[in-house]
Amino acid sequence: MAWKSPGHRTAPAQPPTVTYRGHVYHRGPAEAEAAFVDAQASTTLQVLIRVFPDSGKYQCVRIRPSATVSGESDSQVTVSAEIYQLAAQPTVPCFLPPPDFQRFTLHLSRPLGQRSIVNAVDRSVVPVIDPSDLPTPTYLPAGYRQVRVIPASLTPQVLNGGRVFVRGQLQLTVSVGPPRELSSYDNAPELVTEVAGGRAEVHVDENGRCITWPTRPGIARQVCSASDAADPGAPILSATELVKIARGLR
């Protein structure tokens, strides 16, 4: 059953264009890239939208976003977002710096619960980040020790949390977050298998070997083995070992 709470706030009217550093940018639809749910007030969402105020190329600039909750149902929350950018797609390559995310606090009429969050513009799923989701291995090859824990957070903005383990010049990372924030590959998988009931792919390249699989809408886990830059020839873990570690996470 679809419904919309009368308590939803309407965003203030925005002008159709703005001038920024001598160029005119038009308001258009955008996507929320991630959301955090306040554990103490589960009807509050913190939504992140990617901006590029200083890309170095005016064609690639994205500025002054806005976001609102535009609808709720028993299964979904819809977020409508807008941003100012050029009316036409850039005709130049946008080699962009690390993005900034602008944060918006949105309010629901009832707790999010198990409902998903989707973008109004294309119905894509907005990943819900859970800072408490830090996978812990129950199996590690001998000699590895944990050296760092990186929880996802809003300040600083960290979308993929994880743990880092080392053994000599070898590094093992266990990560969780939106797939675009994890290591990605263009080549064919070395191995396709199953982890936690989902399709898992093992990829290898000059940077190391990783296994990646989805855990919930918009969120994936990844285990990667790499050698230190000081000793690039050190043998990284095999696909078999990575699968064993992945299947043992809790």
DSSP string, 200-239: EEEEEETTEEEEEEEEETTEEEEEEEEE-TT-TTSPPPPH
Sequential pLDDT tens for the chain (250 residues): 344 443 455 556 789 999 998 899 999 999 999 999 876 668 999 999 999 887 678 888 899 999 999 999 999 999 999 999 987 776 777 766 666 899 999 999 999 988 999 999 999 999 999 888 999 999 999 999 999 999 999 888 889 999 999 998 899 999 999 998 999 898 999 999 999 999 999 999 988 999 999 998 899 999 999 987 655 566 899 999 999 999 999 9
Residue 218 contacts residue 126 (beta carbons within 8 Å): yes
What residue type is assigned to position 63 of the chain? Answer: I
Name 51's Cβ contacts closer than 8 Å, sequence gap at least 6: 62, 63, 64, 65, 83, 99, 100, 101, 102
- Reported as a single tens digit per residue, the pLDDT across 175-219 is 999 998 999 898 999 999 999 999 999 999 988 999 999 998 899
CA distance 169 to 161: 22
